Amino acid sequence: MSLSQIIILGAGLGGTIAAYEIRDAVKGKADVMVVNDQEDYWFVPSNPWVAVRWREPDAIKVHLPPIMQKKGIGFTAVGAKRVHPQENRVELNDGTSLSYDYLVIATGPDLAFDEVEGLGPAGFTKSICRTDHAGHAADAFDKFCEDPKPIVVGAAQGASCYGPAYEFALILDTELKRRKIRDQVPMTYVTPEPYIGHLGLDGVGDTKSLLESELRNRHIKWVTNARITKVEEGMMHVEEVADDGTVKATHDLPFGYSMILPAFRGISAVHGVEGLTNPRGFILADKHQRNPNFKNVYSLGVCVAIPPIGPTPVPVGVPKTGFMIESMVTAIAANLKLELDGKEPIEEATWNAVCLADFGDGGVAFVAHPQIPPRNLNWSSSGKWVHFAKIGFERYFLHKVRRGTSEPFYEKLAMHALGIRKLRFK
């Protein structure tokens, strides 16, 4: 009797860990196959370091095929062209197709640079969303330092990932000081958030005061409720929007170097599949991470549709942080095991968030249980310890990926001791 087929679409932070954990959960009952568009895993949280040469790209890269083979997981880097959930089929870029009994979508986002004229690596701003983008940003930064000018860093309207933007602005401040040219570089932080430290989460603990203090102490000006209308070479045009939606002020911000995070949307392989996604192409999911229309399709990570926390003058998305994504992974693995045993899915991810934002000479950490308010725990702190904790986390997570391990027992033990769990009611 043939085994059930589980396809995992994507091999980023969530997809890679999902492959390991699902394989362990369903071993002997299902075969697991990973479909990705490249053979390498990149530790994206370290991209801000790559962009100032504190890391080389190869230091945060893991070659996946031999690890997947050792774990008994199928792997292809051909990439998906289109998902056909009515047919339980994934069409690949080479014209072939793979059939599945269960599909786990963990693709990450499509980067919507085109929604703002002049935005992105093909325009006039840099990106740290991908490691190759961060490598190009590093080359541009080296050139910039030969002729210092103003810097503009931040996020475009509709963005949903703010931590890396704050990180990069403050890492740039630290690196410019090390190069002894900070005094020649006026800096401005631009964000659609209604206030500094909102993070798409209406703040966590005292992030508003902590991040405002960091920007103020480092002489970084900011524009909130910001809508970028156009980017030209050396100039960013920004509208500052009032609470009633009217334009409060306009800002023409000159720059010699700029990094702006774009809004996200679903990738083309799923965008517009009726019943599977919302209008932005994000995957619809219930409390068990299962699509309400196609019951054998699960999703996790940045590709999951999560509504905004509340109305804001400028669109602000909700981030999906690392531990939150890992909690989705654990819920899906447990639910797939239940389904293969002929039972209904019951497990729910906690969506707890643990975040470390490094500034090079310090940082801010926060814990939110759950990530979406109201919360049972709402805590934030700052200090030099965050920088060293981020370094330790990078090494630890890359070690997990290289070993093909989802959650070693000591990680689970430590998190449980802190009251941080991946599954609700456990």
| Domain's final residue, options 291, 314, 348 | 348
Identify whether 369 is part of a domain.
Answer: no
Looking at the fold, whether 100 and 18 belong to one and the same domain comes out as yes
Identify whether 402 is part of a domain.
Answer: no
Looking at the fold, whether 67 and 135 belong to one and the same domain comes out as no
Between the alpha carbon of residue 104 and those of residues 22, 286, 303, 307, 331, the distances in Å are 10, 14, 11, 21, 12
Looking at the fold, whether 121 and 212 belong to one and the same domain comes out as yes
pLDDT in tens, the chain (426 residues): 689 999 999 999 999 999 999 999 999 999 999 999 999 999 999 999 999 999 999 999 999 999 999 999 999 999 999 999 999 999 999 999 999 999 999 999 999 999 999 999 999 999 999 999 999 999 999 999 999 999 999 999 999 999 999 999 999 999 999 999 999 999 999 999 999 999 999 999 899 999 999 999 999 999 999 999 999 999 999 999 999 999 999 999 999 999 999 999 999 999 999 999 999 999 999 999 999 999 999 999 999 999 998 899 999 999 998 889 999 999 999 999 999 999 999 999 999 888 888 998 889 888 888 888 888 888 888 899 999 999 999 999 999 999 999 876 546 655 555 566 788 866
pLDDT for residue 367: 86
Looking at the fold, whether 194 and 250 belong to one and the same domain comes out as yes
Identify whether 167 is part of a domain.
Answer: yes
Looking at the fold, whether 192 and 299 belong to one and the same domain comes out as no
Identify whether 379 is part of a domain.
Answer: no
d(CA 392, CA 389): 5
DSSP secondary-structure letter at 333?
H
Looking at the fold, whether 249 and 139 belong to one and the same domain comes out as yes
Sign of CA dihedral 244, 247, 248, 253: positive
Looking at the fold, whether 330 and 195 belong to one and the same domain comes out as no
Looking at the fold, whether 294 and 165 belong to one and the same domain comes out as no
| Domain's final residue, options 325, 348, 371 | 348
CATH of the domain at 161: 3.50.50.60
Smallest Cα–Cα separation from 228: which of 167, 154, 166, 165?
154
d(CA 155, CA 171): 16
Exactly one of 129, 145, 161, 303 is catalytic; name it: 161
Specify whether the backbone of 378 is left (phi greater than 0), alpha (psi in -120 to 50) or beta. beta
Determine the 3-state secondary structure of 83 from DSSP. Answer: strand
Looking at the fold, whether 239 and 276 belong to one and the same domain comes out as no
Cβ-contact 153, 187 below 8 angstroms: yes
| Domain's final residue, options 316, 348, 380 | 348
Identify whether 100 is part of a domain.
Answer: yes
Looking at the fold, whether 92 and 55 belong to one and the same domain comes out as yes
Q: pTM for the whole thing?
A: 0.94
Looking at the structure of the chain, the number of domains it has is 2
Identify whether 404 is part of a domain.
Answer: no
Known catalytic membership, residue 355:
yes
pLDDT for residue 415: 59
Looking at the fold, whether 203 and 312 belong to one and the same domain comes out as no
Exactly one of 129, 145, 303, 355 is catalytic; name it: 355
The range of the structural domain enclosing residue 127 comes to 113-263
CATH of the domain at 306: 3.50.50.100
Identify whether 425 is part of a domain.
Answer: no
pLDDT for residue 377: 83
Known catalytic membership, residue 145:
no
Looking at the fold, whether 319 and 273 belong to one and the same domain comes out as yes
Identify whether 85 is part of a domain.
Answer: yes
